[in-house]
């Protein structure tokens, strides 16, 4: 054999060996990954070959499965009161994927989770009977919030401060996930996904916006914790008219200069005096303000268990006037209703923030528990003394201030109103916010509401008028339900 033939033979042998190595790698190492890839059509067909497990609210299934009679997919997902619970369930579509709880627990709900398999299932490689997801949502709280939001564009979240259980998560306008579960629902999907999918957004936990004066609770907490404020009723010495530090801009308060000049922090919270909280933020400085915000969960990853957007407090270096503006929930401060409900829940719970969660248990088809959230993580974010003072000041807001519409007969209720300016020269209608807590007969609840738009005249937009009644309905449903 001459040298040329020998070299060609060796080269061909190397190619064969390389091909064998590649085939072995694909089959032995990549095979499982390819088989489990969510874009593998075989997995989708197998997932809908049988009825899915259910998402449960108050012992009742709010999901189901319908036999399609088709050749490709045996069943499709159905929803009871789809618009009411869409922010909780998300959707499970044969074509467009899954979101929210449907996505997080997809393997449990379609029987692919290995924890569901019996020894015989493992031996035969049979798909197991699907499991179920039990939520913390209270049906009456959810319904009360949803009905109270009708006619408004916004969202609300209710939390049990002692346990972190999310009792309600509502959005309006919502959408009916039944419209996009099947293989032939392209027209509905195109409609809902238009305008960057805003119709599918969960505004309760995603897309944070300026929280306005509700953020003053964080500012006051920082001032109390850092010794800048002692008594709630001592005059602060902060003048009104007030010029934002580092600028020539006069900062106005809705109550007017005469009402907000040299007032105590209790009065400042009741009247929502911008001068007081802007000056407190300026004195504290960016680092202390950010540290307090982050204790409440701002800038921290949040999973409940689906991903929620955390509130945002600026990390980049700010000027003096910008720091002052953050103290009133403006500049680049952003929050979701979930985030502000977390702030209020910690205040109500003696300064301890319990991780919020919307699932209580995950079970197999027979009810055996696979996961439990009975003991979520918690952390002390402010002292009990600071929490007590904040509760005291918040009660004044409801008893004597703009939070009066949130009163629940016989209950202790504290709250904070908020109106967040938007657009250049306030060209966009402001956001109306309200966050509150309620206690009655051993029960407690924290609620945050954000109204993005309504048919209310612009001059009448305010957290107390628009958002507080929604919070009141949700608190009442829980405390008196």
| Residue-wise pLDDT tens digits, 270-320 | 999 999 999 999 999 999 999 999 999 999 999 999 999 999 999 999 999
When pLDDT is averaged across residues 68-81 and rounded to a whole number, the result is: 91
Q: Which residues pair with 357 in a beta bridge?
A: 165
Three-state DSSP class for 85? helix
Within a domain: 217: yes
Contact between 435 and 406 under an 8 Å Cβ cutoff? The reply is: no
Within a domain: 421: yes
Please give the C-alpha separations between residue 394 and each of 57, 171, 289, 440, 442, in angstroms, as whole numbers: 32, 25, 20, 16, 19
Q: DSSP of 287-322, one letter per residue?
A: HHHHHHHHHTTTTS-EESSSEEPPPB---S---HHH
Within a domain: 32: no
Does 468 score more than 60 pLDDT?
yes
Q: How far apart are CA 284 and CA 224, in angstroms?
A: 11
Within a domain: 4: no
When pLDDT is averaged across residues 230-246 and rounded to a whole number, the result is: 94
Strand order in 412-422's β-sheet? 166-172, 152-159, 443-454, 428-440, 412-422
Give the per-residue pLDDT at 139.
Answer: 98
The crossing angle, in degrees rounded to 10, of helices 216-225 and 274-284 is 50
Within a domain: 346: yes
pTM of this prediction?
0.90
Domain count, the chain: 1
**Mean per-residue pLDDT of the chain:** 91
Give the per-residue pLDDT at 320.
Answer: 95
Residue range(s) defining the domain that contains residue 280? 212-359+374-479
Please give the C-alpha separations between residue 256 and each of 60, 72, 395, in angstroms, as whole numbers: 51, 67, 22
Give the per-residue pLDDT at 124.
Answer: 64
Where residue 407 sits, what CATH number does that domain have?
3.40.710.10
Residue 84 neighbours by CB under 8 Å, 6+ apart:
142, 143, 146, 170, 174
Q: Which residues are catalytic?
A: 213
Percent of the residues in the chain that have a pLDDT greater than 70, as a whole number: 91
User: What is the SS3 string spanning 332-398?
Assistant: CCEECHHHHHHHHHHHHCCCEEECCECEEEEECCCCCEEEECCCCCEEECCCHHHHHHHHHHHHHHH
Please give the C-alpha separations between residue 291 and each of 226, 314, 345, 426, in angstroms, as whole numbers: 11, 11, 18, 29
Please give the C-alpha separations between residue 235 and each of 226, 266, 387, in angstroms, as whole numbers: 18, 9, 20
Contact between 436 and 398 under an 8 Å Cβ cutoff? The reply is: yes
Within a domain: 410: yes
Using alpha carbons, select from 165, 164, 166 the residue that is nearest to residue 145.
166
Output 18 or 457, whichever has higher pLDDT. Answer: 18
Q: How far apart are CA 115 and CA 275, in angstroms?
A: 57
């Amino acid at each position: 054999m001459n040298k040329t033939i020998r070299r060609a033979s060796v080269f061909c042998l190397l190619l064969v060996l390389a091909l064998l190595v590649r085939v072995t790698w694909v089959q032995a190492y990549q095979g499982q990954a390819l088989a489990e890839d969510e874009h593998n059509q075989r997995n989708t067909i197998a997932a809908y070959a049988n009825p899915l497990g259910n998402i449960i609210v108050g012992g009742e299934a709010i999901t189901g499965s319908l036999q399609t009679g088709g050749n490709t997919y045996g069943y499709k997902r159905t929803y009871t009161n789809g618009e009411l619970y869409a922010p909780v369930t998300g959707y499970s579509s044969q074509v467009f994927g899954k979101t929210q709880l449907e996505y997080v627990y997809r393997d449990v709900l379609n029987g692919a989770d290995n924890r569901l398999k019996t020894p015989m299932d493992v031996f035969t490689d049979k798909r197991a009977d699907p499991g179920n997801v039990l939520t913390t949502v209270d049906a009456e709280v959810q319904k009360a919030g949803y009905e109270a939001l009708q006619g408004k564009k916004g969202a609300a979240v209710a939390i049990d401060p002692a346990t972190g259980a999310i009792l309600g998560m509502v959005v309006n306008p919502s959408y009916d996930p039944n419209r996009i579960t099947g293989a032939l629902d392209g027209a509905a999907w195109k409609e809902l996904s238009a305008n960057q999918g805003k119709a599918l957004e969960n505004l309760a936990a995603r897309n944070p916006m300026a929280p306005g004066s509700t953020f003053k609770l964080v500012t006051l907490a920082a001032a109390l914790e850092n010794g800048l404020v002692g008594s709630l009723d001592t005059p602060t010495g902060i003048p009104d008219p007030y010029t934002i530090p580092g600028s020539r801009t006069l900062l106005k308060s809705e109550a007017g200069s005469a009402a907000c000049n040299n007032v105590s922090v209790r009065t400042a919270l009741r009247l929502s005096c911008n001068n007081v909280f802007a000056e407190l933020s300026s004195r504290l400085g960016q680092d202390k303000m950010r540290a307090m915000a982050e204790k409440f969960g701002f800038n921290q990853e949040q999973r409940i268990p689906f991903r929620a957007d955390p509130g945002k407090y600026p990390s980049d270096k700010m000027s003096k006037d910008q720091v002052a503006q953050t103290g009133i929930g403006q500049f680049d401060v952003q929050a979701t209703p979930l985030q502000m409900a977390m702030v209020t829940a910690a205040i109500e719970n003696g300064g301890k923030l319990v991780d919020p969660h919307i699932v209580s248990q995950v079970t197999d088809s027979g009810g055996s528990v696979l996961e439990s959230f009975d003991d979520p993580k918690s952390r002390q974010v402010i002292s009990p003394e600071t929490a007590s003072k904040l509760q005291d000041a918040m009660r004044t807001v409801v008893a004597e201030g703009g939070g009066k519409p949130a009163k629940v007969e016989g209950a202790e209720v504290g709250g904070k109103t908020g109106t967040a300016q938007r657009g250049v020269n306030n060209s966009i209608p402001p956001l109306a916010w309200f966050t509150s807590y309620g206690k009655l007969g051993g029960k407690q609840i924290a609620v945050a509401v954000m109204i993005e738009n309504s048919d209310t005249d612009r001059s009448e937009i305010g957290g107390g008028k628009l958002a507080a009644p929604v919070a009141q309905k949700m608190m009442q449903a829980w405390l008196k339900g």
